[in-house]
Structure 1
Amino acid sequence: MQHVLRIAITLAVSLFLTPAAQAQGVSLQDILQDHAEQIADPSRRTVGETLDALVSTGHPELPDFLTRWQNREAYQRDSDGLFVYVEDEDADPVVLLDISTGEAIGTAVSREVTQLRPNGGVRRVIGGALVQFQLAAEEPSTRLAALDAIADDPDESFLPLVEARLGVEEDPTILARLEVVLPGLVIAFAQDEQTRIDAIRTLDGNVSLDARATLNRLLSTRRYVAETLPDDANIATILEPGSSALSREDAYDMLVQAELAPPLISRAQQRDILAANVIDGRVGGIPVATLNTEAARDTAYAALVEADRALPIPAAAEIDAALSAHTFFDAYAEASQPVTTAARLTLDGIETRVGIYRFFDLSLDGISLASIYFLAAIGLAITFGVMGVINMAHGEFIMIGAYTGYVVQTLISDYTLSIAIALPLAFLVTFALGVLMERSVIRWLYHRPLETLLATFGISIALQQIIRQIFGTQARPFTPPDWLAGAVTINDVVSISSIRIAIFILGAIFFVMLWLILNRTRLGLEVRAVTQNPSMAASMGINPDRINMLTFGLGSGIAGVAGVAIGLFAQVTPDMGSNYIVQSFMTVVVGGVGNIFGTLIGAGMIGSLQKAIEWLNPTNTLAAQTYMILFVILFIQFRPRGMIALRGRAAGD
């Protein structure tokens, strides 16, 4: 610590010396040669003085040399002691580089140069010196790395440097980091109690992991046992043996470890002791053949205790007396009670806010999952509602849409452009397949639900096998562009991936488009007419077969678009559609068939409930699916037509 403190002081002095050093034209090589012996063979005890001297020069090339020295990338030429870098350390001979210009100055075989290899202690001291330079670096990432290093290995000498940086820093990300690192240093090293308390209060409302870690360190406790409570201890909790916080067994173990009570002897230990004291077929004068009951073994063991050949077994009354005669408590490692009180109050407020943010984060996850289910289910809701067809191949249309995106991306290297092309192309491909499927199979099976279900299930298997034959069974990469690869982070608690946001926006766009189509176009009018009463619609000149064909194609096309969106974050495999078909049906059933508002509500309920179940039981994701199916079964007992019931088709049927 003293060495690092001296380095901090000399760095401040160097700010005034730097112009002079540059004016004199002193090279870094000349400065290093003045301390060549100490640099070549440093020790933890002497390296601090060497660094003091180097930093005091304020040479602008020094930080790069210190970094390379710390990383064991610096060398010394044996012939003249010149410090150099090498171009390729694995080559032989190596190309030697000038430490100032980086230009080649010759070559040398491995035995002609010596690598500078400081040990771990020396490297830590060098790292402390580098922090001073890194905090003033122009690159924000370098300054941020310096603050991370300070937080990982805090030192009192860093306190004035961090305070000075806080006064001039403009980058908001680094400012947020400074506002946590500085209180941590003040709390750890300030001598005045009120100053530490004020630093703790500055963290109020800060939900970052660093802020919580700083406060948790202050509130760390150790468990003690004593005859009476010590006057100088900062007591956190007084424990009662037999409570949920401290069992009687654990409390007595503490007494034994503190040598305040004799140890308990288990039955197994008792048998081992008896076996070790068998003499001429007897233990304590009792024949071994008679030790076939616990009472006999207790008698033999008591004889060994009287002969001082075994430790006595504490009776229950003795255990109770020992526990009653001592006090068990948790004490803070921090000695100041006002400091721990302030830390506890601040942390409690932060945890309350963290709970609110976690609920918000869980809600975002639920909305994100709901948008995925909405995209996957909206096509199914349309075909199921208008045509009454249970399409078990709906998941395969999602899969085909994902593979369409993959194929487009293999042809177009620009990921953004490939997605822009894949979305409409996937709609057209799956729309055409849907129309083909409706014309060739579905149209002959209307009003025959069992046959329709079996036929579409067979088609789903056939489509999976076709895709396996074309693309194989391995997952295919469908890479999102860079602007979708990250996440929007509000704080250390709340974040959501950019892909999920994009899918939510895509779902909203499709919701608006479908609402406009169904409510503001002639096609939508005819779809609603066929949905409510197909016989009456036919009598009014509407062709129900044409509407059914277009509706099935529209639902299939939307599934293809959903496949492109889902493929950006899920594995593109031949059976990926089966992962969404169950959720799609649950969404449609809960929301109400044939109604986009019902599908939206159903997706929100299914997505939110699934995320809530996963949060309650995070170690078993399969349980969420099971509970969701049970929920749907119970739900349809009370609302068999879903949240928004469709009117008309039941009357028409």
Structure 2
Amino acid sequence: MRFFIRASLAILVSCLTLIQPVHAQKSDAPIQLLLQEYGEIIAKSSRRTIGPAIEGLTASGLPEAQIVLERWQAKEMWFEKDTGLFVFAEEIDRDTIRIFDVATGVEIGPVPDRSFKQLKPNSGIRGMIAAALVQFQLRAPDPEERSIALDAIERDAKASHLAALRAAIDGETDPALAERKRRLERLLTIRFDPDDAVRIAAIEGFAGDLGVDVRAVLNPLVATRVAFAETLPEGAVAVEPGSERLPRMEAYNLLVEDGVAPALLHNDAVKETLVAHIDGTSVAGIQVASLNTDEARALAYAALAEQGLAPPLVTEADVSETLDAYSFFEVFTSAPVPVALAAQVVLQDIEAAVALNQTADLALDALSLASIYFLAAIGLAITFGVMGVINMAHGEFIMMGAYTGYVVQLFVPDYTLSILLAIPLAFMVTFAAGVLLERTVIRWLYHRPLETLLATFGVSIALQQIAKNIFGTQARPLTAPGWLDGSWVINDIVSISYIRIAIFVLALLFLALFLFVMNRTRLGLEVRAVTQNPRMAASMGINPDKINMLTFGFGSGIAGIAGVAIGLYAKVTSEMGADYIVQSFMTVVVGGVGNIWGTLLGATMVGSLQKGIEWLNPSNTLAAQTYMILFIILFIQFRPKGIIALKGRAAEA
């Protein structure tokens, strides 16, 4: 018995020791007093009523407010049931918690948790606390934390953020964050500032701005609905019933909804009314058997209406007369008229700027596509222009170049180095393949274009099958270096990927290389001689057969380099060459056979035309290509020699 009494006393003393420290905290601290002021609604933790407590903490200016909000959000705040004092706490075990003073953060000690209750804010309350914490984060020492706060405001802006944002602008030391704060402050001013003049000034400051965020804020301000009155209000924009903006029956339904006009009765309602008033074999004195047409039923219904047994039937004449008695006009639904009109003016200015930038973006896309087509067609322009050979296997040389780049990357994991190695290696591989094709097939088919076309078409099928046997049918990756990732973003509308920029630069480099080879080297001189007059060139000691071989190999080698460039942008498959062969021939034919400047102009024309048609019909790229081919056919009818006609053998072919 003594042992039991001693144990009980020990437990009691221990409990008293655990409980006593909670009263040692600063119950008169300002933050504790503030929490006590809102203690009832904090303990209740209802999203509908918690707002004043969070706002009170936020606006208190107390340095402890931020910590209280953060610990509350993290479910680390408790309160004592008997005293109502708030503490921070962490669980020690199932029955014990360690508590801390909310004012100083000093540990008070371990206590049993049965006399305390944990605050467990739901997701809605945690979201409200997060919004309140933003104003503290806006002035945080860490720039990354300030940036996160701005991200939070952009995602879910509140009216309470406006004052906090304005207060945080002047002290911002990071120029980029300062600009973000100023821009965001103007956006919030438009949404939440009660002064219309201030809102209008902020709106006008965004004139010509292409940001999507600006349009997202301004568009709701110009939302309208149709209203009506007996006389048109001064300055109101009239809307005519029967127009596209306000269909005739929609206008009448507005009057019906407001109770100023009787509702239209549909046939089903008329039938139900007639059935309800059948008296034996007749309705309003009209035999039921004769009510087999809409006109007869309308007469019977009119008779019921005259007897006061049904509401009057509204005729088309009644509808017209009622509509003529009212004026319909648009009213702004989301902003006062001056603010809405200012937003409307700025949006019109933005739409003009958007249209201009969309044109610039389309031009950049067209230029990018033109550079791809130019790379794909430049080798074909050489072979077709010099020898008059229709090489249907040209696309497969592009494919071979792309696969060469893929194989190089298997052995050289550094993507930058692998691309630098792949470009000359692809040239050598496809140069050798072109020379082999010329020596084994093409040389026996000169001046026989149909046989050349059929033979090279067969070669293209064979090369595709060989590629499938070696690499399979799945697309293989040709990975661009990391410095080519992403895009050059000029604004929210105009951007272009770095890979396309690289292809454009590569196209310019090959244009310069081609001009140098053709104009500054002996090979170029001999090629031009054979192009202009092969017999005269032969009489001057030039071997046309050798020049044809080297020229075909040179054109094939350039196609291989084009394959490396295109492989960075498109999928590397055995059929990838077929995607470019048609455009390559169109580029060469439109520009002028055998002329490099013609090929450049042809690529620009074909690329611009394709992008323009795709813009007009974005949902059907196949139709866009069909329209483009039809246009090219018409163009050739009027200018069969292309944009720049070539004199010599190519012109005679």
**Partners in 1 of 2:413 and 2:277 — Cα distance?**
82
1:469 to partner: Cα distance: 2.2
Structure 1 match to 2:469 = 469
Letter in 1 for 2:139: A
1:332 aligns with 2:332: yes
**Partners in 2 of 1:522 and 1:241 — Cα distance?**
79
Contact 2:389 2:452 in 1 (8 A): yes
Letter in 1 for 2:206: L
Equivalent of residue 43 in structure 1, options 42, 46, 51: 46
**Partners in 2 of 1:412 and 1:41 — Cα distance?**
65
**Partners in 2 of 1:275 and 1:398 — Cα distance?**
79
**Partners in 2 of 1:309 and 1:563 — Cα distance?**
84
**Partners in 1 of 2:565 and 2:273 — Cα distance?**
70
Structure 2 match to 1:643 = 643
Equivalent of residue 152 in structure 2, options 144, 149, 154: 149
Moved more, 147-156 or 361-370: 147-156
Name the SS for the 1:517 alignment partner: helix
1:209 aligns with 2:216: no
Q: Give the percent of matched residue pairs that are identical in Structure 1 and Structure 2.
A: 57
**Partners in 2 of 1:69 and 1:451 — Cα distance?**
83
- The superposition leaves residues 413-471 of structure 1 with CA deviations (integer Å, 9 ceiling, x where unpaired) of 22222222222222222222222222121111111111111121222222222222222
Over the aligned positions, Cα root-mean-square deviation in angstroms equals 3.8
Looking at CA atoms only, which structure, 1 or 2, has the larger radius of gyration? Answer: 2
Structure 1 match to 2:248 = 248
1:195 to partner: Cα distance: 2.4
Moved more, 363-372 or 562-571: 562-571
**Partners in 2 of 1:402 and 1:281 — Cα distance?**
88
**Partners in 2 of 1:614 and 1:433 — Cα distance?**
36
- The superposition leaves residues 337-371 of structure 1 with CA deviations (integer Å, 9 ceiling, x where unpaired) of 33333333333222222222221111111111111
**Partners in 2 of 1:473 and 1:416 — Cα distance?**
26
Change (3 A) 1:366 1:50: closer
- The superposition leaves residues 217-237 of structure 1 with CA deviations (integer Å, 9 ceiling, x where unpaired) of 322222222333468xx84x2
Letter in 2 for 1:524: G
1:331-350 alignment, distance < 5 Å = 331-334=331-334, 336-350=336-350
Name the SS for the 1:296 alignment partner: helix
Structure 2 match to 1:516 = 516
Change (3 A) 1:344 1:457: same
Change (3 A) 1:147 1:82: closer
1:203-242 alignment, distance < 5 Å = 203-229=206-232, 235=236, 237-242=237-242
- The superposition leaves residues 519-553 of structure 1 with CA deviations (integer Å, 9 ceiling, x where unpaired) of 11111111111111222222222122222222222
Contact 2:476 2:573 in 1 (8 A): yes
1:196 aligns with 2:199: yes
1:151 to partner: Cα distance: 3.6
Contact 1:534 1:652 in 2 (8 A): no
**Partners in 1 of 2:443 and 2:310 — Cα distance?**
91
Number of matched pairs: 599
Structure 1 match to 2:9 = none
Letter in 1 for 2:522: R
Change (3 A) 1:651 1:571: closer
1:116 to partner: Cα distance: 7.4
1:245 to partner: Cα distance: 2.3
Structure 2 match to 1:579 = 579
1:417 aligns with 2:414: no
1:603 to partner: Cα distance: 0.9
1:288 to partner: Cα distance: 4.7
**Partners in 2 of 1:404 and 1:304 — Cα distance?**
89
1:320 to partner: Cα distance: 1.0
Structure 1: which 5+ residue stretches go unaligned?
A: 1-25, 87-95, 99-113
Contact 1:533 1:651 in 2 (8 A): no
**Partners in 1 of 2:245 and 2:131 — Cα distance?**
42
- The superposition leaves residues 474-499 of structure 1 with CA deviations (integer Å, 9 ceiling, x where unpaired) of 22223323221211111112111111
1:589 aligns with 2:589: yes
Structure 2 match to 1:530 = 530
**Partners in 2 of 1:338 and 1:631 — Cα distance?**
50
Letter in 2 for 1:177: R
1:267 to partner: Cα distance: 4.3
Structure 2 match to 1:378 = 378
Name the SS for the 1:329 alignment partner: strand
Contact 1:220 1:332 in 2 (8 A): yes
Contact 1:205 1:349 in 2 (8 A): yes
1:160 aligns with 2:163: yes
Contact 2:366 2:607 in 1 (8 A): yes
Letter in 1 for 2:391: N
1:575 to partner: Cα distance: 1.6
Name the SS for the 1:568 alignment partner: helix
Change (3 A) 1:393 1:331: same
1:176 to partner: Cα distance: 4.2
1:281 to partner: Cα distance: 6.3
1:210 to partner: Cα distance: 1.6
Contact 2:375 2:559 in 1 (8 A): yes
1:460 aligns with 2:460: yes
**Partners in 2 of 1:416 and 1:529 — Cα distance?**
39
**Partners in 2 of 1:559 and 1:637 — Cα distance?**
29
**Partners in 2 of 1:385 and 1:137 — Cα distance?**
68
1:541-552 alignment, distance < 5 Å = 541-552=541-552
Letter in 1 for 2:211: S
Change (3 A) 1:472 1:41: farther
1:503 to partner: Cα distance: 0.9
1:648 to partner: Cα distance: 0.6
**Partners in 2 of 1:510 and 1:620 — Cα distance?**
33
Letter in 1 for 2:230: E
1:117 to partner: Cα distance: 5.2
Change (3 A) 1:402 1:253: farther
Contact 1:35 1:50 in 2 (8 A): no
Change (3 A) 1:118 1:229: farther
Contact 1:73 1:85 in 2 (8 A): no
**Partners in 2 of 1:423 and 1:269 — Cα distance?**
79
**Partners in 2 of 1:179 and 1:478 — Cα distance?**
43
1:55-204 alignment, distance < 5 Å = 58=63, 62=67, 66=70, 70=73, 83=89, 118-137=121-140, 140=143, 142-169=145-172, 171=174, 173-204=176-207
Letter in 2 for 1:606: V
Letter in 2 for 1:645: A
Letter in 1 for 2:207: D
Contact 1:586 1:632 in 2 (8 A): yes
Contact 1:591 1:598 in 2 (8 A): yes
Structure 2: which 5+ residue stretches go unaligned?
A: 1-25, 81-86, 93-97, 101-116
1:621 aligns with 2:625: no
Change (3 A) 1:272 1:482: farther
Letter in 1 for 2:487: A
Change (3 A) 1:243 1:61: closer
TM-score (norm 2): 0.82
1:584 to partner: Cα distance: 1.2
1:554 aligns with 2:554: yes
**Partners in 1 of 2:271 and 2:404 — Cα distance?**
73
1:481 aligns with 2:481: yes
1:75 to partner: Cα distance: 10
TM-score (norm 1): 0.82
Contact 2:381 2:593 in 1 (8 A): yes
Moved more, 119-128 or 382-391: 119-128
**Partners in 1 of 2:498 and 2:333 — Cα distance?**
43
**Partners in 2 of 1:329 and 1:264 — Cα distance?**
23
Letter in 1 for 2:555: G
Structure 2 match to 1:388 = 388
**Partners in 2 of 1:227 and 1:209 — Cα distance?**
40
- The superposition leaves residues 43-78 of structure 1 with CA deviations (integer Å, 9 ceiling, x where unpaired) of 333475368559866469949x83x975x78799x9
Moved more, 495-504 or 404-413: 404-413
Change (3 A) 1:412 1:265: farther
Contact 2:587 2:599 in 1 (8 A): yes
1:646 to partner: Cα distance: 0.9
Letter in 1 for 2:412: I
1:384 to partner: Cα distance: 0.8
Name the SS for the 2:170 alignment partner: helix
Letter in 1 for 2:354: V
